[in-house]
Structure 1
């Protein structure tokens, strides 16, 4: 290796360009190994909700009304401290669970066909329980204070909508086949029948056959059939 003599009496010239380049390389290396924190940027997606204004106004101004044919009122059933309800999948038998036991209602005849007073709530939190009477040995899926839900649609197109415009008041609307709440915007039927307006119901929906419609609150059940 060839060593060149250095004259210490003469000042050493520093190449400013090289110094800046070396510093830039150091900064680049440091930014690679320790990148700055990424600050998330919230994106604002424009959403046109003007068509919802007229829907809200129609719902708020609508009075409670009976459902159209072929639906008819089957009955009203008082139930103290109702907890959950659930339909048999093959019939119109409705299992009702309250704080004082279980019962079974035949929603075609409005008859109470079974009753017990056992507080059998072990499986209720998992949204199912065993039936009694004509439903003995049958596991019934239930909906109520622990969640879950009854079918909201029938095979031939009837549906219900649970709408909350003024919490905690809720409206339950029945829509005929092919109708949707936003139908006016898309040139489709948009009519509805307001069946319920009160504090949030425990559950509402159809039987699996689509022949029965129920709305349940903590004090009882309203039943319609066809």
Structure 2
């Protein structure tokens, strides 16, 4: 049996409609809200050594892809990675990088474990809740994860995984990219690197 407080939280999350992420977060994708990737196993972040952009590596049953997070553009693809080397099941859950990350390892969060950053240095917090499990909801807040008050003031229900299994959700180490990965797609939100802390 759940406590009265737990029931209040559950009711609050169930009542919150999905809404756009607040400013300064925006989707870099022009034509859709997500990047479709069938059979997604996991995702990881790295930094582009040439321009400092956040890079997103996606690992799926169909190969590996590398994306420029600020634009959502695919910049490298490996359709046939060696499964013994490229499945994120080792002790650090990493895979060899592709494209500009060749020669480095990228830690992957997803089906096999691991995780992404859930906070940024300037106070944004990401929480995953499941008041109607197995469907997960992703909450973005600017109040340290308290999710107090009505949705849309200091916390936002930005994603509802009711069609595919949630794989990972979190921020890049720079705090400029927020991603939500399911077994079928990746949703990205970015903010300008020049944004000053709140």
Short-chain TM bin: 0.7 to 0.9
Matches within 5 A, 1:109-188: 109-122=71-84, 123-126=87-90, 127-181=93-147, 183=148
Which ranges in structure 1 are unaligned for 5 or more consecutive residues?
Answer: 1-47, 185-189
Is residue 92–residue 207 contact of structure 1 (8 Å, CA) maintained in 2?
yes
User: Alpha carbons of 1:172 and 1:210: their partners in 2 closer, same or farther (altered >3 Å)?
Assistant: same
TM-score w.r.t. the length of structure 2 is 0.80
CA contact (8 A) 2:161 2:182 kept: no
Moved over 6 A (4+): none
| Structure with the higher strand share, 1 or 2 | 2
Alpha-carbon distance in 2 for matches of 1:99, 1:210: 28
Aligned residue number for residue 196 of structure 2: none
* Aligned twin of 1:52: 6
* Distance (Å, rounded) in 1 between the aligned partners of 2:123 and 2:131: 25
**Which structure carries more relative contact order (alpha carbon 8 Å, separation 6+)?**
2
Structure 2 counterpart of 1:212: 177
Q: Classify the secondary structure of the residue corresponding to 1:54.
A: helix
Q: TM-score, normalised by structure 1?
A: 0.71
**Is the contact between residue 28 and residue 188 of structure 2 (CA under 8 Å) also seen in structure 1?**
yes
- In structure 2, the partner of 1:195 is 158
Deviations 1:49-101 (A, max 9, x none): 43333322121111100111000112221111111110005641011111121
Query: Which residue number corresponds to residue 78 of structure 1?
Result: 36
> Alpha-carbon deviations, 1:114-169, whole Å to 9, x = none?
01112334351121111100111111111111011111111111011110112111
Residue 179 of structure 1 and its aligned partner are, at CA, apart by 4.7
Structure number with larger C-alpha Rg:
1
Matched, 1:64 2:18: yes
The whole-number CA distance in structure 2 between the counterparts of 1:148 and 1:110 is: 23
Pairs aligned (count): 173
Q: Specify every segment of 5 or more residues in structure 2 that has no aligned partner in the other structure, as ranges.
A: 192-198
Distance 1:154 1:49, change over 3 A: same
**Alpha-carbon separation, structure 1, partners of 2:97 and 2:76:** 10
1:5-56 deviation line (CA, Å, top 9, x unaligned): xxxxxxxxxxxxxxxxxxxxxxxxxxxxxxxxxxxxxxxxxxx943333322
CA contact (8 A) 1:100 1:119 kept: no
- CA distance in 1 between counterparts of 2:96 and 2:53 reads 16
**Residue in 1 that maps onto 2:66:** 104
